[in-house]
Copies of this chain bind each other. A is one copy, B any other.
Amino acid sequence: MSNMADHMGEFDLIARYFKRPAIHSVLGVGDDCALLQPAPGTQMAISSDMLVQGRHFFPDVDPQTLGHKALAVNLSDLAACGAKPLAFTLALALPSVDEAWLAAFSKGLFALADAHDCELIGGDTTQGPLNICITVFGEVPVVSGRSQALLRSGAQAGDDIYVSGTLGDARLALDVLYGKLLSVPPEVFGPARARLETPSPRVALGIALRGIASAAIDVSDGLLGDLGHILKASQVGAVINTSIAIKLVASHEYWMRSSGIFGIKNDQKTGLQTSLAHVLAGGDDYELLFTAPPTHRDAVLAAAHTSGTPVTRVGQIQSAPGLRLIDEHGAEVANTFRSFDHFSRP
């Protein structure tokens, strides 16, 4: 591949696949810096995520879905802050200049960027082990001197706990791809794999929840792990109803109907246990986990409706520290679920 690198240098590469006219930015790709002029009365929300081959995606991943996912995980952070996407930078290390790969990657990347009116304003390309680092910029209004940003630190005892969409299916796909689960039928694996590879950041819901949610985070490391961040930042505890949570797994109905799916133990109970592990400690879901006072229940439903995003109430914030799991009868369920950590992933 070094022949191709000789023919097409770093700068041509940037120009060919990533240079587009400026939209929100005063000055986009092609100078030492990009220039952004935030609207008066707004704050800029900023987040960075780095994706590494073998840790965040498989070596044989479709580059188009990878382009989507690399931006999606960043937009999900903006969603969790209630920020409106404006722009992003892309730094890319590539083992070699592979034009087919770049064409597909940029196609997936820009399709999602365009859907959110989010502009590529700069970045870097270099040779090295495949690594994708995106930094994303969003806008949050400041109203009467108060930032409308959703933070992790605002949850209060008595608040409801909500989750958007479905959880756990990305982890199901991952377990199948890692060979930890025996095969699941295509009608279950297909949607699960799509959740893993092309998550939909909940940007519209995040914006709709400004002034309604008391705290928010995106679920990237599993429900329990990410709820733990809210509890720590807000200095509160919580209780989660596992009989509601387990229904957040899109494939739950399938487990209910089936048995003999899993290689390890050939019974339905194991299937449901795995499902519960996936919903509570799955990772890679990119749904919003948020809290709101019970007086805002109608407002939460209205925000869900206007943003076209289903939400489910799964628990409650409590003043006593700690995270408790209960079943449908209110009885405590042992919490043996580990949160997802990019340093201890299998």
Q: Is the CB of B142 within 8 A of A50?
A: no
Given A52-B128, A93-B131, A124-B50: A36 in contact with B32 (beta carbons within 8 A): no
* Residue A247 CB within 8 A of the other chain: no
Encode A251-271 as 1/0 by CB contact (under 8 A) with B: 000000000000000000000
B55 & A9 in contact (Cβ 8 Å cutoff)? no
* A138 in contact (CB, < 8 A): yes
Residue interface mask A78-94, B partner, CB < 8 A = 1: 10110100000111110
Q: Which of A11, A46, A55, A126 has the most chain B CB within a 10 Å cutoff?
A: A46
Please give the distance in Å from A65's CB to the nearest CB on chain B.
19
Q: In the complex, are the beta carbons of A33 and B121 less than 8 A apart? A: no
Binds B, one of A159-167, A301-309, A336-344: A336-344
Q: Is A126 a contact partner of B48 (Cβ separation < 8 A)?
A: no
The CA-CA distance from A35 to B38 in the complex, in Å, is: 12
Cα A138 to Cα B6 in complex, Å, equals: 34
Which residues of chain B are within 8 angstroms of A97 by Cβ–Cβ distance?
343
Given A80-B32, A140-B35, check contact A122 B46 (CB 8 Å): yes
Q: Knowing A43-B37, A80-B32 touch, does A48 contact B131 (C-beta < 8 A)?
A: no
Beyond A26-B43, A34-B45, is A50–B218 a contact (Cβ under 8 Å)? Answer: no
Distance between A202 CB and nearest chain B CB, rounded to angstroms: 12
Q: Which partner residue on chain B sits nearest A216 by CB separation?
A: B32
Contact with B along A40-73 (1 / 0, CB 8 A): 1001111111111111100000000000000000
Contact between B147 and A50, CB atoms less than 8 A apart: no
Residues of chain B within 8 A of A83, CB atoms compared: 33
Residues facing B in A135-164 (CB within 8 A) are: 135, 137-138, 140, 142, 147, 149, 151-153
Q: Does A310 contact B (CB under 8 A)?
A: no
Known: A56-B126, A123-B48. A77 touches B33 (CB 8 A): yes
Q: Does A187 contact B (CB under 8 A)?
A: no
Q: Answer whether residue A322 sits at the interface, using C-beta atoms and an 8 A cutoff.
A: no
CB distance from A89 to the nearest CB of B (A): 4
Verify if A327 is at the interface (C-beta below 8 Å from B): no
Q: Check if A31 sits within 8 Å of B81, measured CB to CB.
A: yes
In this assembly, does A217 line the interface, its C-beta being within 8 Å of a C-beta of chain B? yes
Interface flag for A10 (CB, 8 Å):
yes
Contacts of A31 in B (CB 8 A): 81, 151-153, 233
Give the residue of B8, B50, B77 whose beta carbon is less than 8 angstroms from that of A32: B77
**Any B CB within 8 A of the CB of A190:** no
Within 8 Å of chain B (Cβ to Cβ): is A13?
yes
Instruction: Return 17 A-B CB contacts under 8 Å, by A number.
Output: A5-B344, A30-B233, A32-B78, A32-B81, A32-B217, A33-B77, A33-B80, A34-B45, A35-B147, A37-B43, A46-B137, A48-B135, A52-B93, A55-B127, A55-B128, A127-B342, A128-B131
Query: What are the 4 A-B residue pairs with the smallest beta carbon separation, nearest first?
Result: A52-B128, A133-B133, A33-B45, A50-B91
